[in-house]
Amino acid sequence: MTRDTEQPGFETIGRENPPQFHVPVMVQEVTEGLITNLSGTYIDCTFGEGGHTLEILKRIAPHGGKVIGIDKDLEILHYAEKRLKAFEGSYELFHGHFMNIDLILRGMKVSSVSGILFDLGVSSYQLNTEMRGFSFDKEGPLDMRMDLQSPMKAEEV
């Protein structure tokens, strides 16, 4: 289930045709450096396509570990949730900005975490989707919104 941090309790339904997911960079190094407690709770503050979270869950879910994923892009959360289906119950996804991490944790009654991941930047999905307007070599509107529910597009700035 994906929750919207702007609308508590808001549930979304995934789309039918997920994009081709990219392989996250340095996934081995990230998971080895991040995971210190196999039964701990981890936060992926820039969840994106869920590649890092998938690898984290492969290691911690069998031991009761959990991941909280946060991303501004609701569209990619729909797709990525299908990618994590095998780990249902071991993760929770939130649509919103990582600046709301304290509200999310309080709402979940989580008082401490074992690790936090930030993989800052534009995702492959955003770059490869013409209508998102992030790529300079693909035709599309000048949009560039990480969150398509945000009111202002780049062409309006």
Question: What domains lie within the chain, and their CATH numbers?
Answer: 2-121 (3.40.50.150)
**Which amino acid would we find at residue 30?**
V
Tally DSSP H helices, then E strands, for the chain.
5, 6
Q: What is the pLDDT of residue 75?
A: 82
Compute the average pLDDT of residues 78-93. 92
d(CA 72, CA 150): 10
Q: Which two tokens stand for residue 141?
A: 């509107």
Residue 121: pLDDT above 80?
Answer: no
Position 130 pLDDT exceeds 50 = yes
Sheet strands (E) in the chain? 2-4, 7-11, 41-44, 66-71, 91-95, 115-117
Work out the average pLDDT over 6-18. 40
For residue 14, give the DSSP letter: -
**Residue 55 pLDDT more than 50?**
yes
- pLDDT, residue 15, reads 38
Please give the mean pLDDT across all residues of the chain.
81
51 and 24 in contact (C-beta within 8 Å)?
A: yes
Kindly state the percentage of the chain with pLDDT values over 70: 68
> Which tokens is 155 given?
């062409």
> What distance lies between CA 138 and its chain's CA centroid?
24
